């Protein structure tokens, strides 16, 4: 899928609040849910230099919920470009910041989104293909029925 870079948006995590310990544990979930993200969009993580934070991306919702600390973390000013449909799990690995709500799921697309495919089997599932097969088989049956008569 090609993306017109003019349509991609850049979001700052938490908007003007930034990326820091939130006032409640649902803050970043609420923020993320209030936006519609698309492939090509970018999430920027910034925080005041006087605070010790970071941002890490984990692979699964279980790691996200358990605040699993991966080996690779990033400092302020890092951005992540959303390259595919699905969920992205971000969290802060400093002390108990994640447990205090400094984590966020960003969802691109919806579960019902289906990517176009070049798979040759995709035509087999189309209604047109079913109609063509039925018509073809009916013609053969009628031909052989008339041939035997």
**Element housing 107 (H / E):** strand 103-108
The reported pLDDT for the residue numbered 115 is 45
The mean pLDDT value for 5-26 works out to 91
The reported pLDDT for the residue numbered 43 is 96
The mean pLDDT value for 67-87 works out to 88
Residue 72 has pLDDT above 60, yes or no: yes
- Determine what percent of the chain is predicted with pLDDT higher than 70: 68
The mean pLDDT value for 36-48 works out to 93
Cα dihedral 42→43→48→51 (10° resolution): -140
The reported pLDDT for the residue numbered 113 is 46
CB atoms within 10 A of CB 29: 15
- Determine what percent of the chain is predicted with pLDDT higher than 90: 55
Number of helices and strands in the chain (H, E): 3, 6
Residue 55 has pLDDT above 80, yes or no: yes
pLDDT in tens, 113-129: 444 444 443 343 444 44
* Mean pLDDT over the full length of the chain: 79
């Amino acid at each position: 899928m090609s993306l017109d870079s003019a349509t991609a948006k850049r979001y700052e995590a938490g908007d003007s609040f930034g990326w820091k310990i939130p006032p409640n544990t649902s803050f970043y979930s609420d923020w993320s849910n209030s936006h519609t993200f698309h492939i090509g969009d970018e999430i920027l993580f910034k925080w005041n230099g006087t605070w010790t934070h970071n941002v890490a991306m984990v692979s699964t919702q279980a790691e996200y919920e358990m605040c699993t600390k991966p080996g690779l973390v990033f400092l302020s000013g890092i951005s992540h470009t959303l390259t595919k449909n699905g969920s992205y799990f971000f969290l802060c690995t400093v002390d108990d910041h994640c447990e205090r709500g400094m984590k966020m799921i960003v969802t691109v697309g919806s579960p019902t989104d289906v990517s176009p495919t070049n798979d040759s089997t995709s035509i087999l599932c189309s209604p047109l293909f079913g109609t063509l097969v039925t018509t073809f088989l009916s013609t053969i049956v009628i031909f052989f029925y008339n041939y035997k008569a």
